[in-house]
Amino acid sequence: MRLRRRRDGDDMERLRAAYTVADDAGDRVEAERLAWLIVAADPGARGFWFDLGLFAKRRRDWVESARLNARALDGAPPDRDGNPAAWNLGIAATALGDWASARRAWDRYGVDVPEGDGPLTMRLGMVPVRLNPTDTDLGAEPFEIDGVVHETEVVWTERLSPGHARIVNVPLPESGHRYGDVVLIDGSPLGERFNGTSWVPVFNELALLERSPLLTWTVQVEAHEQADAQALSALADGRGLAAEDWTSSFQILCKACSEGRPGAHDHGQPEGSWRSARRFGVAGREEHVRALLDDWASSGPGRQVGELGAFGDGPGSE
């Protein structure tokens, strides 16, 4: 019997070593296979239950990710000690709309969660989110919305919980997203953006949870002064719409700056003198958007509005 125990121990050691080699090499299929063998032989190996939950997260298999991360927490100290399995359980539960489980998971991690039930609206501040991320830990499958791979874009969002956020920019049509979309976000930051007072982390989108009913419209306007453009954004905000001056708000960054802290090297310098031709993105229903533009144009000298174009008129639009 003693020889058998040593042989079993040797087998487990070899399995763990093989797992490490496969995982380090990025062979996720083999690593996952070996992880299942390890937990079958040692059900108390909580670290490998967590890794299995991570593999499921990378596939966006939220049901399995929730189950496996819950299993990783079994037998762990109940302290609110930042257990990463609790965080990933919170993400998976948020993806599934299982708010009771999400609340318990965030509390287990150490997040102060308000009392109640139903969707969380914690108002955790503004955070930048990378829509349609590439080169992520989610595996080889591309990030798709309605079966289409869209362009990557970093937007500002209102963080509603540790795991989800609502877009407050008007994203470019090429992103496949809309103002007001609710997205699932990862907990590992990748890059930083300046919010006007400090640098804040960028989080990758994991899934589109809730499609905004508001279409994205694009329009060319003549705004002879910066105050004219600002007036359009302010007028939209006052009506519960959104109008963003894409001419000044959008900048293409290299990969290093996008996934780090945007540096001083040239990505195309911002405009020096004001250009009156502005490209705006506007979010709202058509009749409201047209009324907005008409009222703006008539309330200031020299203001002109070009042809209105609609984007995002796919599933979920009104």
Do 161 and 206 share a structural domain? yes
Q: What is the pLDDT of residues 298-317, one digit of tens each?
A: 999 999 999 999 875 443 34
The pLDDT assigned to 144 comes to: 84
Q: Quick one: 176 and 227 in the same domain?
A: no
Q: Among 41-55, 96-110, 220-234, 241-255, which stretch is predicted with the lowest mean pLDDT?
A: 241-255
Decide if 221 is inside a domain: yes
- Look at residues 75, 109, 143 and tell me which one is the last residue of a structural domain: 109
Residue 139's pLDDT is 57
Which pLDDT score is estimated for 268? 54
7 shares its domain with 90: yes
> How confident is the model at residue 3, as a pLDDT?
34
Query: Do 103 and 16 have their domain in common?
Result: yes
CA 302 – CA 306 distance, rounded (Å): 13
For residue 1, the model assigns a pLDDT of 34
The stretch 138-159 carries a mean pLDDT of: 84
Q: What is the CA radius of gyration of the chain?
A: 24
The answer to whether residues 105 and 149 belong to one domain is no
Q: In CATH, what number is assigned to the domain containing residue 230? A: 3.30.70
Domain count, the chain: 3
Q: What is the pLDDT of residues 67-85, one digit of tens each?
A: 999 999 998 888 888 999 9
More confident residue, 145 or 51: 51
- 177 found inside a domain: yes
| 119 within some domain | no
Question: What is the structure's pLDDT at 272?
Answer: 61
Q: What separation in angstroms does the CA of 177 have from each of 63, 69, 205, 311?
A: 25, 30, 11, 10
**51-63: average pLDDT:** 95
Q: How many residues comprise the chain?
A: 318
Residue 160 lies in a domain: yes
| b/e burial code for range 79-112 (CB count within 10 A of at least 16 → b) | eeeebbbbbbbbbbbbbeebbebbbbbbebbebe
Q: Is the pLDDT of residue 31 over 80?
A: yes
Same domain membership, residue 16 and residue 100: yes
Q: Give domain status of residue 33, yes or no.
A: yes
Binned at pLDDT 50, 70 and 90, residue 135 comes out as low
Q: Which of 56-60, 86-90, 133-137, 232-236 has the lowest mean pLDDT?
A: 133-137
Rounded mean pLDDT of the chain? 88
SS (H, E, C) 49-97: HHHHHHHHHHCCCHHHHHHHHHHHHCCCCCCCCCCHHHHHHHHHHHHHC
Quote the pLDDT of residue 318: 43
User: Residues 297, 224: one domain?
Assistant: yes
Residue 240 has what pLDDT?
94
CATH number at residue 65: 1.25.40.10
If asked whether residues 6 and 105 sit together in one domain, one would say yes
- CA-to-CA separations, 40 to 8, 43, 173, in angstroms, rounded: 13, 6, 48
Q: Is the pLDDT of residue 43 over 80?
A: yes
Q: Is residue 134 part of a domain?
A: yes
Q: What is the domain range of residue 254?
A: 216-265+274-311
> 25-39 burial by CB neighbour count: b if 16+ within 10 A, else e?
eeebeebbebbeebb
Instruction: Report pLDDT digits (tens) over 180-234.
Output: 999 999 999 998 998 889 999 999 999 999 999 999 999 999 999 999 999 999 9
Instruction: Choose the final residue of a domain: 109, 135, 153.
Output: 109
Q: What is the mean pLDDT of residues 6-23?
A: 84
At residue 91, the pLDDT reads 98
pTM: 0.86
Residue 295 and residue 227 in one domain: yes
Do 95 and 178 sit in the same domain of this protein? no
- Tell which of 109, 135, 162 closes a domain: 109
Q: pLDDT tier at 175 (50, 70, 90 boundaries)?
A: very high
How much of the chain exceeds pLDDT 90, in percent? 73
